[in-house]
Amino acid sequence: MPIGIVIIAYASVFPSEVSPLIPALQTYWLQIHVITTAIGQGILGIGFIAALIYLIRVVEQTTRSKQTFWLETIMFIITCALGIAITVGIFSANQYSVTFNWINELDMEAELQYELPAIVGPYEGELSSSDQGSFGPLFKAPGWMNGVEAPRKFNTFLWSIFSGSLLYFLVRLMLRKRISAAIKPFVKNISPQFFDEVSYRAIIIGFPIFTLGGLIFAMIWAQIAWTRFWGWDPKEVWALITFLFYAAYLHLRLSRGWHGERSAWLLVIGFAIIMFNLLAVNLIIAGLHSYA
């Protein structure tokens, strides 16, 4: 539940306005493809959460090791997601915004609105006359960072690192130990074998649902909308990478006997691939799926 709450809080950072799709994409395949894919990824996410609980339970916390380092790195990333959600909530409640005048990706004069104080401003951008007294920016984005609202997204990323680091430091200061080590006493009575089995069964259920929604239904919709099943769009490529990774996980689990800790670390990597596909591919890499 805490992981789910953090993900929902992080999702609240993104714009809530809904714009209609282009006419070629306005079919019932939108609901079929997106809902099925989301359910599949959600079930795969349950596999990750069970694997994370397993790792917190079995990884020895009394000594420093690669396992403790990467486990604490996961805790830090979760803290960053929570930190940016809290930060955006605070500034949104105070209706904070600043506007920059800049030359956008189409080489046209435009305005770019920030909802957070500007650590980084647009390349060759200037604060509007009404916001001249506002904080920042401390430096400008590089010239190549001129994608759709790319400087604003980069600014949000920097705020997530800053707010997450501050929150992580405060939590560590209060706990006087690693976060994963502080959580371990709460899971000491669980059965590692049970959570290993839960994570495996979640993948067994989620993998075919994701395959159906993220690949098969997606290709049918692509054929209807773009007259081709496959076009090597970044979103398509990373959906295929996700499919191949979980297929490899099941192969290693069933044929090579990868159970326990090795299996759990694979599911951590798999969930990182899912989140990269949902966030980085949509927000950073240009493609047919970059509607936002």
- The listed range with the strongest mean pLDDT (12-21, 59-68, 228-237, 239-248) is 239-248
CA pair distance 11, 88, nearest whole angstrom: 11
CA pair distance 41, 7, nearest whole angstrom: 13
Taking residues 247-253, what's their average pLDDT?
94
**By C-alpha distance, which of 96, 145, 103 is closest to 120?**
145
CA distances from 245 to 13, 43, 44, 196 (A): 29, 15, 12, 18
CA pair distance 72, 56, nearest whole angstrom: 10
Between residues 174 and 85, which one has the greater pLDDT? Answer: 174
Residue 282 CB coordination number (10 Å): 17
CA pair distance 272, 111, nearest whole angstrom: 34
Residue 132 has pLDDT above 70, yes or no: no
Q: What is the pLDDT of residue 62?
A: 82
Q: What is the pLDDT of residue 170?
A: 94
Mean pLDDT of the chain: 85
Q: What is the pLDDT of residue 146?
A: 64
Residue 291 has pLDDT above 60, yes or no: no
Q: What is the pLDDT of residue 289?
A: 61
**By C-alpha distance, which of 97, 77, 33, 271 is closest to 180?**
77
pTM: 0.80
CA pair distance 275, 4, nearest whole angstrom: 13
Q: What is the pLDDT of residue 287?
A: 58
Give the domain ranges of the chain.
Answer: 25-61+185-286, 64-177
Q: What is the pLDDT of residue 16?
A: 67
